[in-house]
Structure 1
Amino acid sequence: MTTILKVEHLEKVFGGLTAVADVSMQLKNDELVALIGPNGAGKTTLFNLLTGVIPPTAGMIYFREKEKLVSINNKKTYQIADLGFARTFQNIRLFKNMTVLDNVLVAMTNQYKEGFIKSVLRFPSFYRTEDEILKKARDLLAIFDLDKDMYKLASNLPYGVQRRLEIVRGLAMKPKILFLDEPAAGMNPEETADLTRLIRQIQQQFHITVLLIEHDMSLVMNLAQRIYVLDQGKLLAKGTPSEIQHDKSVIKAYLGEEG
């Protein structure tokens, strides 16, 4: 598989605190990779670095554009999103007072190519594009069983359905990489099982790269093809789920020394 994202010696320092230290990693096309580690390990900070929310103190981030890896270190968040990055957050960030359909339509604005003049003057091509995008949004909601709720306010949905909508909204951006930050947080076992099926469906049907932060180890071990482990901002281990399960340094970081 081709490498789509490459990170070399990434570092982030806040004042005197090093949150991410000398992290190198790679993501390949159409694979699901998990990022795990104890609380405070630097996982969300790493996500924020990769998606342009914060700039790195040192190190390089490369993304594959037109058959070659190019640096995205100095790009703005919206520019990185335009390249094909989409993400969710630990705390659900839906537009709570908008409908389910409108939440998805907002994410699809990057697919309007009519330009300012045509949009203001409402040329026929503008309406054709609008109809096409509306159909795509409804079709996407139907795939993930959200079409029956499309006219409900996002705030009125159950927690697990809100989480599903947030992921589908990210998918509506037609990303090349989908970053999921603790999607199972606050879910009961039934909701977590539904989430596992949802992520697997996205992987199989849309063939995009997924990077997942998660504390639910059963979900991680069921889904991930490879796993990176962070501890105190440093890369502690990497490998397949089986390799990580038997890695002594990982066991020590999670469970402490054996008595």
Structure 2
Amino acid sequence: MSTILKVDDLVKNFGGLTAVSDVSMTLNDDELVALIGPNGAGKTTLFNLLTGVITPSSGAISFRGPKGTVTLNGKKAYQIANLGLARTFQNIRLFKDLTVLDNVLVAMTSQYKEGLLSTLFRLPSYYKKEAKIAKEATELLAIFDLQESVDVLAKNLPYGIQRRLEIVRALAMKPQILFLDEPAAGMNPEETADLTRLIKKVQREFHITVVLIEHDMSLVMNLAERIYVLDHGAMLAQGTPTEIKQNPAVIKAYLGEEVS
């Protein structure tokens, strides 16, 4: 596998607090990686750095995109998203007063540019492109069994389905890397099992790199090919699920006991 994202000695300071300290990591094509660690370990801060929500204090982030390798440092979140990095958040950030379909359409608009005259005067090309986008959005929703909910307002969906829609909306951006920030947060066991199947489906059908922050260790050990462990903002360990379960430093700092 070849490297799609490379992080070198990343640091983020907030005043006198170092939230991320000299973190280095790599992500490869078409793999599923988990980022774990105690609360306050810097996991979401690292996600925010990688996706342009905040800027690093030092270090470098390199992404191999369709037009070659680019440095992500200094780029805005929308620029990084357009390059092929999409994410979800700990707290669901759907457009709750828009329908399921419209939530997905919003994510797809950046991929389709229409001329000013065509848009202003509603020329045939405008309607043709609108129809094409709607068709693609509907087909994507159908893959994830949301075709019956296209006209439902996002706020009226059950919690687990809202999480699913948020992932689908991120996929609508056609990313090369999908970052999932605690996707199982607040879910019951049945919803978590559905989420596990969903993430496996994303990996299988879209062939993209998936990175998730998650505290549910059974989900992590069931899904991840590799795991990075953060503790107090620093990289404590990395390895396969088996290696992480048996790592004494990880057990002491986070797991507490081996995960079956």
Bucket of the pairwise TM-score, normalised by the shorter protein: over 0.9
Letter in 2 for 1:86: A
Distance in 2 (CA, whole Å) between partners of 1:145 and 1:65 is 30
Partner residue in 1 for 2:21: 21
Distance in 2 (CA, whole Å) between partners of 1:116 and 1:211 is 38
CA shift digits 1:1-48 (9 cap, x unpaired): 111100000000001000000000000111110000000000000000
Q: Describe the SS at the equivalent of 2:138.
A: helix
Cα RMSD (Å) of the superposition? Answer: 1.2
Greater than 4 Å deviation, 4+ residue runs: none
Cα offset, 1:166, TM superposition = 0.5
Distance in 1 (CA, whole Å) between partners of 2:241 and 2:161 is 28
Partner residue in 2 for 1:36: 36
Distance in 1 (CA, whole Å) between partners of 2:132 and 2:171 is 17
Cα offset, 1:124, TM superposition = 1.8
Q: Describe the SS at the equivalent of 1:27.
A: strand
Structure 1: give runs of 5+ residues left out of the alignment. Answer: none
Asked whether the equivalents of residues 65 and 84 of structure 2 are also in contact (C-alpha less than 8 Å), the reply is no
Identity of aligned residues (%): 72
Distance in 2 (CA, whole Å) between partners of 1:116 and 1:30 is 38
Letter in 2 for 1:22: D
Partner residue in 2 for 1:73: 73
Matches within 5 A, 1:1-259: 1-66=1-66, 68-254=68-254
TM-score using structure 1 length: 0.96
Distance in 2 (CA, whole Å) between partners of 1:215 and 1:256 is 13
Q: Residues 137 and 14 of structure 1: is their aligned pair in 2 closer, same or farther, counting only changes over 3 Å?
A: same
Q: Residues 67 and 156 of structure 1: is their aligned pair in 2 closer, same or farther, counting only changes over 3 Å?
A: closer
Asked whether the equivalents of residues 27 and 209 of structure 2 are also in contact (C-alpha less than 8 Å), the reply is yes
Q: Describe the SS at the equivalent of 2:30.
A: coil
Cα offset, 1:72, TM superposition = 1.2
Letter in 2 for 1:76: K
CA shift digits 1:54-106 (9 cap, x unpaired): 00000000000346432110111111010011110000001111111111111
Distance in 1 (CA, whole Å) between partners of 2:42 and 2:57 is 14
- More displaced 10-residue stretch of structure 1: 111-120 or 10-19: 111-120
Distance in 2 (CA, whole Å) between partners of 1:87 and 1:66 is 19
Q: Describe the SS at the equivalent of 1:12.
A: strand
Cα offset, 1:110, TM superposition = 1.2
Cα offset, 1:119, TM superposition = 2.0
Letter in 2 for 1:149: S
Distance in 2 (CA, whole Å) between partners of 1:76 and 1:22 is 22
TM-score using structure 2 length: 0.96
Asked whether the equivalents of residues 7 and 25 of structure 2 are also in contact (C-alpha less than 8 Å), the reply is yes
Q: Describe the SS at the equivalent of 2:9.
A: strand
Letter in 2 for 1:90: Q
Asked whether the equivalents of residues 34 and 228 of structure 2 are also in contact (C-alpha less than 8 Å), the reply is yes
Distance in 2 (CA, whole Å) between partners of 1:144 and 1:196 is 13
Letter in 1 for 2:21: A
Letter in 1 for 2:16: G
